[in-house]
Structure 1
Amino acid sequence: MAWYTADDIVQDTFLRVVTTPSLPDVKYAQAYLYRTAQNLVIDHFRRERILRFVPDSEKSLEFVASDAPLPDQIVWSRQELRQLQNALNALPAPLRDVFILARLEGQTYVEIGEKLGIPPQTAFSRMVRALTLVKEATDMGEKN
């Protein structure tokens, strides 16, 4: 490990300790400081070990797997969305209204009851029925 790497680790240790919102009790401060430095050294050597397999460490990010979905995942997700949309469209209006208010607008059953002029228990039972019908419809769509 080069001297500049050691300096970097000391600096990173200092930054970690200074920016920690709740430091341990003073009697554990030295152990906490050493443990932080030790973890940073371990992380450094892990990175070094991985970078040995990369021809150009400056371009190492090119070798990291992309988070972007694969084309087949995109197609599958779109199919699922279509199935869900079809299932929602097939719901009777009272059930669909409760579903949309609860799941898309994040309203409580009390709020939904007030908005639709129904008791909260009715809003809840409509939601249970809507979820059951949506699940059945999407399960049927998966089988086809």
Structure 2
Amino acid sequence: MDFERLYNEQFHLMYVFIRYMVGNAELAEDLTQETFLRIYKAKNLDRVANEQVYTRQVARNLVYDYYRRKALIKWLPFSQRHEQQEVTYVPEDWLLQQEQRKALFEALQQLKPLQREILIYRKIEERSIEETCNILGLTAMKVVNTQRSAMKRLEQILGGAYDEA
């Protein structure tokens, strides 16, 4: 595995993914750097079959580890209402340009972690069910059912209809 190539290809994608997961730009930057630091220090990287899936799994595990350490992950969303931190937005212009994106970003933070993650993969990154299954290690049925429940929850939060595709 060529680390420099992997870093150049995946850094921004991992940052955006982590940013959606944690809802905090500074924390996302730190966890993204930690993701690539761990990959750099890992041994046996030549045995990795799919670099992108491996990078996602490292990033995902760091996000979940962070919340476990902070004792914020219980059974439902990452944070309780009394623990909500001020929401800052990704500095990219595309997120600030439309109020709909801001509403979607805030609504995503109210979903269960797995629901949020599946919607990021399926709807935002437009990954296939198979790709999502490979990254998360879940069955296709679990991904489809979780996506459906997440979309229904988003509909409740945002007050509109959703697309089942």
TM-score (norm 1): 0.41
Q: Which has the higher contact order (CA 8 A, sep 6+)?
A: 2
